[in-house]
Structure formats: structure tokens, C-alpha cells
Amino acid sequence: MTNDRNFDDLAGRFTDNIYGSPKGQIRLAILQEDFDTLLSRYPANTPLKILDAGCGLGNMALYLAQQGHEVVLCDHSAEMLQRAKQLFAEQAPAAKVTFIESPVQTLQQHVKGQFDLVLFHAVLEWVSEPQRTLEGLLRFLRPGGYFSLLFYNRNSLVMRNLLRGNFRKLAAEQFAGDPKSLTPTNPLLPEDVYCWLEAIGLKILSRTGVRIIYDYLSREIRDQRSVEDILEMERRYCRQEAFIALGRYIHVLAQAKV
Ligand SMILES: C[S@@+](CC[C@H](N)C(=O)[O-])C[C@H]1O[C@@H](n2cnc3c(N)ncnc32)[C@H](O)[C@@H]1O
């Protein structure tokens, strides 16, 4: 057991508000591009072993499974895992997939061996001991394997509050979301996360800002522009240094020592 946020009671809202909206569409599109680039390092049709730790609805693992990779999905929320199973049953019934209900911190009790690629997406900001949790995940990464980390960027909350003139909130440094909301309990500072990754011996290969524009747009502008047009701008700027830092999330690809 952990005190980390279990999404059993948030599953419906997460499904609708994130993956049922442009937020999820943009997130998936940008991450898929990063994975396409990463996986092009392997010869075509090389099947990989991939772990999605804190998989939620399993959308990213589905994309990878549909390319013939073997995926293991883990979440401590039975409700999220049930939705992931349903997604796979509908969209990839022949996929090589295993579902495990467990906190990532005790996953070694269920999983033997190591993986070519480990995903840890939008979970670190919900766990009570982020640095130690990251360290624990290393055991699942084979030497030279890749680690895909997506984390919620605290600086993007600062920027949004600056733009809205919420100066009192900034002075009070109130960044944790309400326990019942989809804003995480522990939004993270990028410099902390990069230090943690390097401290455990991972080499950062690339960084991408995810939703560097969308979250700052007014409702009026969101209504006036198509998702495709916004996505085109996200794609254009998301890997440029100045804009990576503004992403609501930052996606880091890192590699374990050989
Ligand atoms: C914001 S969702 C992200 C889901 C998915 N990775 C994605 O990017 O769409 C966070 C997920 O992490 C799960 N989670 C949080 N703490 C966890 C832990 N210690 N072990 C396993 N899953 C955890 C929650 O139940 C939830 O499904």
C-alpha cells in the first residue's frame, strides 16, 4: 500500500476531461512523435518489451502495442486498469499485453526481468516520495534501456497565474491541487527532476514541452482555432528550449548505462 493518489474516484473525470478533450489529443500526438523518433533507433520490426508504470487508461501503451511491441501495464487503481483492459479489448484484441494491479513501489513482486523501455507518465507528481520512486523503477530497465518520463511542470502553473494576475496565490506558493481535482498534489520543478534522473545514472537524451500553448489560451481563442491549427503550433515550438520550459508537462527521454 502507498499514500499515493489512487484514481479510482477520478477515473470518469480523467477520461472525459483529459482524453475526451484537446488536452489528451495534443498530449498523445506530441508523445507519439517522440516515440516514433526514439524507436527509429531500432531496426524495423524489432519487438520490444515495454513497461507502462501507472498506465491509467493505457492510451500510450496501446499505441506501442499496435506496433507489435509486448506491453505490461501496471496501475494501483482497479478502476483505471479496468478501463485500460476495455480499451485493449476493443482496439487491440490480439496485443501481447499483461495487466497488473499494483503500486509501482511493489511491482517487483509481480514482474520478473527487465524492459527495453519503461514509461512513467504523469505519475511522479502524484507520489509522496518522487525521488525514491524513480530510483525504484530503475530495476526494471535493462542496461542501455530507455526511460520515458512525463511530469507536471510547476513552472507552467506559475506562468498561468502570472498571466491571470493571481499574485496573492503566487505569493502564498499554493501549487498543490485540491485533493479531489485533476491538478496534482505535487507539481514538480524541472531542475529537481533532471537532477534526480542524473543522480540515478540516467542520461537525458531529449526534452519536449507538452501543451506549451494550449493551456495558456483564453477560451475565446480556443474556440476560434481548430485543434489541428493549435497542434501545428505546438509541434513547431515544443522542442525549442524557450518553450520546453513552458509546457504543462515535460517529456524526458533518458537512457540507462550500458
Ligand atoms: C494522471 S494519471 C496518468 C495515467 C497515464 N500514465 C497517462 O499518462 O495517461 C496517473 C495514474 O497513476 C496512477 N498512480 C498513482 N500513484 C501510483 C502508484 N504509486 N503506483 C501505481 N499507479 C499509481 C493513478 O491511479 C493514475 O491512474
DSSP string, 71-86: EEEEES-HHHHHHHHH
Closest CA to 46 of 59, 64, 28, 62: 64
Treating both helix axes as pointing N-terminal to C-terminal, what angle do 130-137 and 190-199 enclose, rounded to 10 degrees? 40
Q: Whose CA is closest to atom 19 on ligand 1? A: 103
Query: What was the pLDDT predicted at 38?
Result: 97
Q: Whose CA is closest to atom 13 on ligand 1? A: 54
Query: What was the pLDDT predicted at 1?
Result: 56
DSSP string, 77-127: -HHHHHHHHHHHHHH-TT--EEEEES-GGGGGGT--S-EEEEEEES-GGG-
Question: How close is the Cα of 150 to the center of ligand 1, in Å?
Answer: 11
Tens-digit pLDDT profile for residues 74-126:
999 999 999 999 999 999 999 999 999 999 999 999 998 999 999 999 999 99
Question: How close is the Cα of 93 to the center of ligand 1, in Å?
Answer: 23
Question: How close is the Cα of 92 to the center of ligand 1, in Å?
Answer: 21
Q: Which residues of 215-228 are buried (b: 16+ CB within 10 A; e: fewer)?
A: beeeeeeeeebeee
Q: Whose CA is closest to atom 8 on ligand 1? A: 121
Residues 6+ apart with CB under 8 A from 133: 104, 105, 124, 127
> Which residue from 76, 87, 117 has its CB within 8 A of the most atoms of ligand 1, so it is best to mutate?
76
Query: What was the pLDDT predicted at 145?
Result: 97
Secondary structure of 192-204 in the HEC alphabet? HHHHHHHHCCCEE
Q: Where are the alpha helices (DSSP H) in 167-215?
A: 167-171, 190-199
CA 110, 112, 114, 115 dihedral sign is negative
> Which residue from 1, 2, 7, 211 has its CB within 8 A of the most atoms of ligand 1, so it is best to mutate?
7
Q: Which protein residues are within 6 Å of ligand 1, measured from CB? A: 2, 4-7, 54-57, 59, 75-77, 80, 103-105, 121-123, 126-127
Question: How close is the Cα of 161 to the center of ligand 1, in Å?
Answer: 26
User: At 51, is the secondary structure helix, strand, or coil?
Assistant: strand
Cα angle, residue 209 at apex, residues 241 and 252 outer, rounded to 5°: 95
The pair phi, psi for residue 151, each rounded to 5°, is -135, 155
pLDDT in tens, the chain (258 residues): 577 777 777 777 767 777 778 999 999 999 999 999 999 999 988 999 999 999 999 999 999 999 999 999 999 999 999 999 999 999 999 999 999 999 999 999 999 899 999 999 999 999 999 999 999 999 999 999 999 999 999 999 999 999 999 999 899 988 887 777 788 989 999 999 999 999 999 999 999 999 999 999 999 999 999 999 999 999 999 999 999 999 999 999 999 999
Question: How close is the Cα of 78 to the center of ligand 1, in Å?
Answer: 11
Residue 130's CB is within 10 A of a number of other CB atoms, namely 19
